[in-house]
Amino acid sequence: MRDIRERVLDILESIGRIEKYEPGGREEFERNELVQVWILHHLQILGEAVNALRPELEQGHPEVPWASIVGMRNILIHQYFEIDTDIVWSVVERDLPKLKVWFQAILDTLASG
């Protein structure tokens, strides 16, 4: 079973892997099926890790939109025919940079605590 630190690292690794293909922009995301699947897969991993962390970290980190992240993961996994690529790309551009900062701060706290 993965501990808290490993799950936070999973989140940061997923964000880093998404960032690898983000520079291609929305056009590349829409045009290239492999890039789209790559990004969706890593959002699923991120959501799964957040879901596992939620009970232990949610109260101490109200800035993190825990329910929204888990909700997106559930849609990506269970309602894949209803995925809205506009929303997915918005998350990549707007939300991932904030999540990266928040989870890096959580990791730093774990390392110092």
The domain spans of the chain are 4-112
- Residue 68 has a CB neighbour count (10 Å cut-off) of 13
Q: Is 73 a catalytic residue?
A: yes
Which entry of 2, 7, 17, 78 is annotated as an active-site residue? Answer: 78
pLDDT, tens digit (0-9, with 9 covering 90-100), for 8-43: 999 999 999 999 999 999 999 999 999 999 999 999
Cβ atoms of residues 99 and 15 within 8 Å = yes
Percent of the chain with pLDDT over 70: 100
DSSP string, 22-56: GGGHHHHHHH-HHHHHHHHHHHHHHHHHHHHHHHH
CA distances from 1 to 26, 32, 43, 98 (A): 36, 35, 20, 27
Q: Is 78 a catalytic residue?
A: yes
Residue 1 predicted with pLDDT over 90: no
* pLDDT computed for residue 82 by the predictor: 86
Give the three-class secondary structure for 8: helix
Which entry of 26, 31, 42, 73 is annotated as an active-site residue? Answer: 73
